[in-house]
Amino acid sequence: MKKNKFLVAVLALPLALAACTSTSSSSDSSSAAAPAEGSAAATAAASAAPAAGGEGYGYNIAVVTHGGAGDAFWSVVKAGAEKAGADLGDNVQYQSDGDPQKQAQLIDAAVSQGVQGLVVSMANPDALKDSIAKATAAGIPVITINAGGDKSKEFGAMNHIGQDEAVAGNAVGAKMAEAGAKNVICVIQEAGNVALETRCQGVTDGLGGTVENLQVDNNDLTGAQATIKSKLQADPSIDGVVTLGGQMAAVAAAAVEEAGSSAKVGTFDVNSDVTALIKDGKVLFAVDQQPYLQGYMGVDLMTLYLSNANTLGGGLPVLTGPSFVTPENVDQISELAVAGTR
């Protein structure tokens, strides 16, 4: 709860800044559009001195994530990062690749391009270790977001902004137990992602019953639906399904219905389909780790550090979740999900 207050304070900051910058909106919008033009614009702006609030900060900040192309979640992170760039007048370059090797190369490219700040998600921290070391060696401050919080400090990053997967998983397990579930399957849609395994482990700890993991393919949703259905048919005592990504919740809800099972579905991450399912009562709840906030705050905190040497969190990760989407607050959030910011 203490952290929540913290978050509110942090949230208020960019709003105040945005209010400041909006007075000179014409120059702001031009610099916000710059990142689309790529490296040429970036280097040109790099020589500009960090300007005072009125004209925007003009920092070059690279946001390099592991989000797969076409992933709904990461498009929200990107939207957040770009909005922060626009609000603060920074040049934000967002790039992503799900392959750790390629992500490392993207970081290297950003470093050699001379960005002033680096915001990175670390799904596979060890693969990025060298690249991040290069960045810190070059004097570029690094903030990690979303995944890789436990390695963040070790790699020399300033702080980590994200959801602690174990904490969130624990909360989900507790919520499922509250709903009466005892035998739960945890659907993993991306093999080898440490964060997803940690979530399922957290669910196990929080539930206090049995949790079994089920691996499915995120790019083949009808196949995933059949697999979940198979599991429900094979073991009728399953009374809960936890999914780890928005789109999989819709698939699991359909599988539960088709299998004639009474299992409750709870999910991580929110999108417009999930909010509709929560309204219909087909999904019990969704954990929102507020990806928009991760993108936004990554850029925002970086800007605060570059301009005012501020850091946040006192060496502990800044948590953006779990916040729950339930039938009570779903209406408001669904409007925002349609707009692509939740």
Binding residues (CB under 8 A) for other proteins: these are: 68-72, 75, 188, 191, 212-215, 217-223, 225-227, 229-231, 233-235, 247, 250-251, 254, 258-259, 271-273, 276, 340
How many Cα atoms occupy the beta-carbon half-sphere of 315 within 13 Å?
1
Least Å distance, CB 332 to other proteins, is 18
Residues with Cβ within 8 Å of 324's Cβ and at least 6 positions away in sequence, in order, are 171, 175, 285, 286, 287, 288
Cβ 206 to other proteins shortest distance, Å: 21
Q: How far is the CB of 159 from other proteins (least distance, A)?
A: 28
CA distance 179 to 181: 6
Which residue lies nearer to other proteins by CB, 66 or 160?
66
> Which lies closer to other proteins via its Cβ, residue 94 or residue 155?
94
Q: Do the beta carbons of residue 251 and residue 218 sit within 8 Å?
A: no
Least gap, CB of 226 to other proteins (angstroms) = 5
- Taking the C-alpha atoms of residue 132 and residue 306, their distance in angstroms, rounded to an integer, is 18
Min separation Cβ 76 and other proteins, Å? 8
> In Å, how far are 163, 249, 253, 275, 282 from 279, measured between CA atoms?
25, 13, 13, 6, 8
Residue number, 151 or 231, with CB nearest to other proteins: 231
Q: Which is nearer to other proteins, 90 or 273 (CB)?
A: 273
Closest to other proteins by CB, 154 vs 212, is 212
Q: What is the DSSP string of 145-183?
A: ESS-HHHHTTTT-S-EEE--HHHHHHHHHHHHHHTT--E
Cβ 258 to other proteins shortest distance, Å = 7
167-170 contacts at long range (C-beta below 8 A, 24 or more positions apart): 167/202, 167/319, 167/322, 168/199, 168/202, 168/268, 168/287, 168/289, 168/321, 168/322, 169/198, 169/199, 169/200, 169/201, 169/202, 169/203, 169/204, 169/205, 169/206, 170/202, 170/203, 170/205, 170/206
Residue 136 burial (10 A CB sphere; 0-12, 13-18, 19+)? middle
In the complex, the smallest distance separating the C-beta of residue 215 from other proteins, rounded to whole angstroms, is 4
Shortest reach from residue 45's CB to other proteins, in Å: 24
Residues 177-204 as b/e (b if ≥16 CB within 10 A, e otherwise) read beeebebbbbbbbbeebebbbbbbbbbb
In the complex, least distance from residue 72 CB atom to other proteins, rounded to whole angstroms: 5
State how beta strands 240-243 and 264-268 pair.
parallel
Residue (65 or 225) nearer to other proteins, CB: 225
Question: Toward other proteins, which CB reaches closer, 223 or 327?
Answer: 223
C-beta of 230 vs 332, nearer to other proteins: 230
Closest CB to other proteins among 152 and 271? Answer: 271
**322 upstream amide cis, omega within 30 of 0:** yes
